[in-house]
């Protein structure tokens, strides 16, 4: 994380909507920035108020709490809000903030449908507020460094970008919330699949490194969606986005890995390649005529960047338009046929790594996911015995 100099202005009052689950990370991050004098936690919006223990780090400066987001914004005079609530609520809460001129850090994915995303993006633009979408990997200093390497021609002509993610999630993961692992809930789209939520960063970061992250950059999206778990959504999937200029961007991901690994993106050039482990900010450059070069880059926190934008005019790292291509993928997944249940002989169970329970493991999936990123091909093209021909959609 980068540290900004202490501002001359008072700390920015912030409301956090959704302070449990992943919201705990945002709560700790707000505390870090509050300690630096950049922000002040003015309010917490939760259906069940946080306990004194949960707010122990804020002792002596306890925030207001309410289940009514709009009323809380009004009562606290918040200038910014962090929204880390279930996916289907993002648009309504973002527009509630926009109506009050409150700036936003909106967790990914920004919406569950293209229509909701467009409504949110139009609303924040018309309100004139700043909106940052929570793709934390975009804050890595490796992203502009890799894009500059591509622009310089050091890798030769760009051939494509591939992402791979092999993670482990057990059955308890899908019991943590009513919307977990659902495509829709009570008639409302949720789209909580591996491509669109847990490993959404793999897809979005690949599009960013390809410099084709806006919705107008997308010509078509091919999806192959599968599930080993007994859920509605996909847990083992791949996608190929073909840009309007023909460049392929692929992602092959699973939550049923044999061994959990660090997700990464490969930028393929005619004379070399760059591998980016985006959670670690680690980069490996391999190109003709040079030995391998490895580096670890710094990272700018997205809330810190939002504060810098509001106070000093620093450009936002992830405005909504930079997530347009990713939202085309979300829409393609949403409208694709229901994910295919993998046959029983394609997976097996193993004890969960912690807390009891079990997890499901797709046989050979770690190598298949890696091959997808390495060759820019889909599961069906790699010959996976359970794979079917991809579903193609166009914007």
pLDDT at 122: 98
pLDDT at 354: 86
Shared domain for 238 and 356, answered yes or no, is yes
Contacts with 381 (C-beta within 8 Å, 6 or more apart), sequence order: none
Shared domain for 110 and 180, answered yes or no, is no
Is 130 among the domain residues?
A: yes
- Measuring CA to CA, how many Å separate 280 from each of 107, 142, 163, 232, 287? 20, 10, 15, 31, 22
**Contact 273/286 with Cβ under 8 angstroms?**
yes
> Residue 262 is part of a domain; what is its CATH number?
3.30.360.10
Shared domain for 114 and 181, answered yes or no, is no
Shared domain for 166 and 221, answered yes or no, is yes
DSSP 270-298: TTEEEEEETTTTEEEEEETTS--EEEE--
Shared domain for 161 and 124, answered yes or no, is no
Shared domain for 278 and 223, answered yes or no, is yes
Shared domain for 163 and 66, answered yes or no, is no
Average pLDDT of adjacent 10-residue blocks, the chain of 395 residues: 58 97 97 96 97 91 96 98 97 98 98 98 98 98 98 97 98 94 96 98 98 98 98 98 98 98 98 98 96 98 98 97 98 97 97 91 98 98 91 86
Shared domain for 270 and 375, answered yes or no, is yes
> What is the domain extent for residue 187?
142-298+320-393
What's 299's DSSP letter? B
Instruction: Name residue, tokens 């959404």.
Output: 200
Instruction: Name residue, tokens 């229901």.
Output: 338
- Measuring CA to CA, how many Å separate 7 from each of 2, 48, 293, 308, 310? 14, 34, 37, 9, 11
Is 308 among the domain residues?
A: no
Q: What confidence tens digit (pLDDT) does each residue in 122-149 have?
A: 999 999 999 999 999 999 999 999 999 9
Is 305 among the domain residues?
A: no
Shared domain for 85 and 229, answered yes or no, is no
Q: What confidence tens digit (pLDDT) does each residue in 99-121 have?
A: 999 999 999 999 999 999 999 99
Q: Which of 83, 113, 136 is the last residue of a domain?
A: 136
Q: Residue 29 belongs to what H/E stretch?
A: helix 23-35
**Contact 42/69 with Cβ under 8 angstroms?**
no
Q: Which of 105, 136, 167 is the last residue of a domain?
A: 136
Q: Which of 120, 136, 152 is the last residue of a domain?
A: 136
pLDDT at 356: 85
Q: Where would I find the beta strands (DSSP E) of the chain?
A: 12-17, 39-45, 64-66, 80-83, 103-106, 131-133, 158-166, 184-185, 188-189, 218-227, 236-243, 248-254, 264-269, 272-277, 282-287, 293-296, 340-341, 347-351, 358-362, 391-393
Is 4 among the domain residues?
A: no
Identify the sign of the CA torsion 51, 96, 85, 103.
negative
Is 303 among the domain residues?
A: no
pLDDT at 1: 57
Q: What is the Cα–Cα distance from 312 to 144, expressed in whole angstroms?
A: 21
Shared domain for 366 and 256, answered yes or no, is yes
Shared domain for 106 and 160, answered yes or no, is no
> 298 is written with which tokens?
């710094």
Q: What is the Cα–Cα distance from 184 to 194, expressed in whole angstroms?
A: 15
Task: Give the global pTM.
Answer: 0.95
Is 291 among the domain residues?
A: yes
Is 376 among the domain residues?
A: yes
Domains held by the chain: number: 2
> Residue 90 is part of a domain; what is its CATH number?
3.40.50.720
> 272 is written with which tokens?
């070399």
**Contact 155/274 with Cβ under 8 angstroms?**
yes
Shared domain for 268 and 382, answered yes or no, is yes
Q: What is the Cα–Cα distance from 56 to 53, expressed in whole angstroms?
A: 5
**Contact 239/222 with Cβ under 8 angstroms?**
yes
Contacts with 189 (C-beta within 8 Å, 6 or more apart), sequence order: 88, 112, 113, 183, 334
Is 310 among the domain residues?
A: no
- Measuring CA to CA, how many Å separate 188 from each of 56, 111, 175, 354? 36, 12, 19, 32
> 174 is written with which tokens?
């899908």
């Amino acid at each position: 994380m980068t540290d900004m100099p202490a501002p001359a202005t008072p700390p920015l009052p912030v409301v956090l909507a959704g302070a449990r689950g992943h919201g705990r990370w945002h709560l700790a991050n707000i505390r870090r920035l509050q300690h630096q004098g950049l922000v002040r936690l003015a309010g917490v919006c939760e259906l069940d108020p946080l306990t004194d223990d949960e707010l122990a780090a804020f002792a002596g400066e306890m925030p207001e709490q309410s289940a009514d987001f709009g009323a809380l914004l009004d009562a606290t005079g918040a200038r910014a809000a962090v929204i880390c609530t279930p996916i289907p609520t993002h648009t309504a809460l973002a527009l509630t903030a926009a109506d009050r001129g409150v700036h936003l850090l909106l967790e990914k994915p920004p919406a569950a449908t293209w229509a909701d995303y467009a409504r949110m993006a139009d609303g924040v633009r018309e309100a004139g507020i700043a909106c940052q979408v929570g793709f934390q990997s975009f804050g890595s200093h490796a992203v502009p460094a890799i894009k500059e390497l591509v622009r310089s021609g050091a890798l030769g002509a760009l051939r494509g970008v591939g992402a791979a993610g092999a993670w482990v999630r057990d059955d308890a993961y899908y019991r943590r919330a009513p919307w977990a692992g659902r495509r829709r809930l009570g008639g409302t789209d949720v789209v909580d699949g591996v491509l669109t939520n847990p490993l959404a960063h793999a897809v979005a970061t690949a599009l960013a490194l390809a410099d084709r992250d806006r919705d107008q950059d997308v010509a078509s999206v091919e999806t192959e969606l599968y599930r080993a778990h007994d859920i509605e959504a996909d847990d083992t999937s791949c996608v190929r986005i073909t840009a309007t200029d023909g460049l392929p961007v692929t992602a092959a991901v699973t939550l049923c890995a044999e061994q959990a690994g660090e997700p990464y993106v490969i930028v393929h050039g005619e004379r070399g390649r760059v591998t980016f482990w985006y959670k670690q900010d680690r980069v490996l450059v391999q190109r003709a005529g040079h030995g391998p070069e490895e580096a670890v880059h710094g990272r700018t926190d997205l809330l810190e960047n939002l504060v810098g934008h509001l106070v000093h005019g620093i450009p936002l790292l992830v405005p909504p338009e930079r997530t347009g291509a990713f939202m085309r993928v979300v829409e393609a997944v949403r409208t694709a046929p229901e994910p295919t249940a993998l046959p029983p002989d394609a997976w097996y169970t193993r004890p969960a790594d912690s807390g009891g329970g079990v997890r499901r493991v797709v046989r050979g999936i770690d190598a298949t996911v890696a091959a997808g990123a390495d060759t820019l091909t889909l599961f069906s093209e790699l010959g996976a015995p359970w794979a079917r021909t991809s579903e193609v959609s166009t914007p």
